Amino acid sequence: MISVSYIVPVCKWNGNSANGNDYKFRIENLKFIIDKFIVVQKYVSIELIFIEQSLDGNFYYDGFENRCSKFIRITGNIFNKSRLYNIAAKESKENFLLFAEADMFSDDTIFINNLMDNCRNKKWVIGWDKMRYTSRYERDMLLANISISKRSNIVNRGIGKGHEGGIVFFNKSFFDEIGGYNESLEELGGIDNEISVRANFLSKEYYRCPGFIYHMWHPITKNNAKPLASRIKNSKILKEIKNNPMKYISTKGIKNK
């Protein structure tokens, strides 16, 4: 049996959502994902690590302590998913790391087992090639344990087509070797694609595991000026990394820590 740390970052976003309570939907989604698809794994030993960042001094994801191996809470006035991932990775006891978004899951227990089989021989693996976006109605069906079709609202991703996040696996030693996630990238945009550039540069072992993941519906967090500025900044950093991935690796990689 392979053992893996399953790392999930959460945060009550400070943008303007459709109704101001989008995090409540996210909490319901996350509880569903944990109870139905993470803790039921039979052939993978999972160390479930949650890390919540508070932007206003308050913490909102209550009731998860008994659902996970570790629950880490930090504060900071700017959302930084890269920092959350890096902190949780340092707390991991396992040699394999699985980074997952809080609103995404696979509906097939065989899928994660297949992912783990591929990870045994590769330094990093992206755990899907098709993403199914659910509507609010379909999300409610899932919460009521009613199956939904896989045939609509599908986004296909092949090798090199971007969006390298959602569910991604790293050998821990390789994750340290490339310097972990880039904490210069704040708020939204480019985080997963940036680390994939460095991972591909060193490993030359890009692998996208065939299979579906689902995105659970929640109210959309509208962009404001700050996230837009972050997206522009992140795009500039991503361009620099693409031009010279070793510049980051040589300063942040494990050999220089």
- Domain 2-256 architecture: Alpha-Beta Complex (3.90)
Q: What is the pLDDT of residues 135-162, one digit of tens each?
A: 899 899 988 888 877 666 666 655 455 5
3-state secondary structure of 126: strand
Distance CA 5, CA 98 (A): 6
Better-predicted residue by pLDDT, 88 or 257: 88
Residues 164-183 have a mean pLDDT of 90
Count of C-beta atoms within a 10 Å radius of residue 246: 12
Which residue's structure tokens are 């620099």? 240
Q: What is the pLDDT of residues 54-81, one digit of tens each?
A: 988 888 888 888 888 899 999 998 889 9
Q: What is the pLDDT of residues 30-51, one digit of tens each?
A: 888 888 777 767 667 889 999 9
The DSSP letter of residue 135 is: P
Q: What is the pLDDT of residue 7?
A: 94
Report whether 85 contacts 170 (CB < 8 A): no
Q: What is the pLDDT of residues 95-131, one digit of tens each?
A: 999 999 888 887 666 666 677 777 778 888 888 888 8
Closest CA to 119 of 159, 151, 167, 164: 167
All residues at 6 or more sequence positions from 184 whose CB lies less than 8 Å from its CB, including other chains: 82, 237
Question: What are the sequence ranges of the domains in the chain?
Answer: 2-256
| Interior angle at CA 135, CA 226 and CA 127, nearest 5 | 75
Residue 16 predicted with pLDDT over 50: no
Closest CA to 117 of 106, 104, 127: 127
Tell me how far CA of residue 50 lies from CA of 8, 15, 56, 65, 238, in angstroms.
Answer: 5, 22, 19, 9, 27
Residue 183 predicted with pLDDT over 90: yes
